[in-house]
Chain A
Amino acid sequence: MDLFLHQVLAGLATGGIYACLALAIVMIYQAIDHLNFAQGEMAMFSTFIAWQLMQWGMTYWVAFCATIAVSFVAGVAIERVLFRPIRHAPALSHIVVFIALFAILNSLAGSIWDYNVKSFPTPFGSRSLIGEGLMSSHDAGMIGVTLLMLVLLYLFFRHTRVGLAMRAAAANPESARLAGIRVGWMNALGWGMAAAIGAVAGVMIAPVVFLDPNMMSGILLYGFAGAVVGGLASPGGAVFGGFAVGVVENLAGTFIPYVGRELKLTIALFIIVAVLTVKPAGLFGRNIVSRV
Chain B
Amino acid sequence: MKQDTSALTKQATPGTIARIPLTTWSRAIVIAGLVVALLPPFVAKNFVVFQLTLALIYAVAILGLNLLTGFNGQFSLGHSAFYGIGAYTAAILMDQADVAYYWTLPAAGAVCFVVGFLFGLPALRLHGIYLALATFALAIAMPQLLKSAPLEPWTGGVQGIVIIKPEAPFGLPLNADQWLYYFTILVAAVLYACAVNLVRSRTGRAIMAIRDNPIAATAMGIDVALYKSLTFGVSALYTGVAGALGAIAVQFVAPDSFTFNLAIAMFVGLVIGGVGSIPGTLFAGLFVLFVPNIAEHVSKGLAQAVYGVILIVVIFVMPSGAAGFVRMTVQRLARAWR
Contact = CB atoms under 8 A, between A and B. Distances in A.
Interface residues of A, number: 46
Contacts of A107: 301-305, 308
A56 interface: no
B312 interface: yes
Contact of A263 (B2, B144, B301, B302): B144
Contacts of A101: 308, 312
Contact of A277 (B69, B122, B315): B122
A94 to B, nearest CB: 8
Contact of B129 (A35, A259, A265): A35
Interface string A98-119: 0111111011101100000000
A232 B141 CA distance: 23
B308 A103 contact: yes
B308 A266 contact: no
Interface residues of B, number: 48
Given A34-B1, A91-B4, A276-B126, A96 B272 contact: yes
B320 interface: yes
A90 B148 contact: no
B144 A266 contact: yes
B312 A97 contact: yes
A101 B310 CA distance: 11
A270 B136 CA distance: 10
B126 A111 contact: no
B275 interface: yes
Contact of A224 (B133, B264, B315): B133
Q: Is the interface of A mostly helix, strand, loop or mixed?
A: helix
Contacts of A280: 125-127, 130
Contact of B308 (A35, A90, A100): A100
Nearest to B139: A269
B126 A104 contact: no
The residue in A101, A108, A224, A273 that gathers the most chain B C-beta atoms within 10 A of its C-beta is A273
B307 interface: yes
Contacts of B127: 280
Nearest to A217: B260
A134 B319 CA distance: 49
A273 B315 contact: no
B267 interface: yes
Contacts of A276: 125-126, 130, 133-134
A228 interface: yes
A116 B69 CA distance: 39
Interface stretch (A65-73, A81-89, A155-163): A81-89
B54 to A, nearest CB: 21
Interface string B112-145: 0000000000100111011011101100110011
Nearest to A231: B130
Given A92-B271, A104-B305, A108-B302, A262 B130 contact: no
B144 A111 contact: no
A92 B132 CA distance: 12
A195 interface: no
Contacts of B69: 92
Interface string B279-322: 00000000000000000000001111101110110011001110
Nearest to B5: A90
Contact of B311 (A92, A99, A232, A259): A99
B129 A232 contact: yes
A262 to B, nearest CB: 6
Contacts of A85: 316
B161 to A, nearest CB: 20
Nearest to A96: B271
A292 interface: yes
Interface of A: 33-35, 82, 85-86, 88-93, 95-97, 99-104, 106-108, 110-111, 221, 224-225, 228, 232, 259, 262-263, 265-266, 269-270, 272-273, 276-277, 280-282, 292
3 closest A-B pairs by beta carbon, nearest first, are: A89-B319, A107-B304, A269-B137
Interface of B: 1-5, 8, 69, 122, 125-127, 129-130, 132-134, 136-137, 140-141, 144-145, 147-149, 215, 264, 267-268, 270-272, 275, 301-305, 307-309, 311-312, 315-316, 319-321
7 contacts: A90-B275, A93-B319, A93-B320, A99-B308, A103-B304, A273-B122, A282-B130
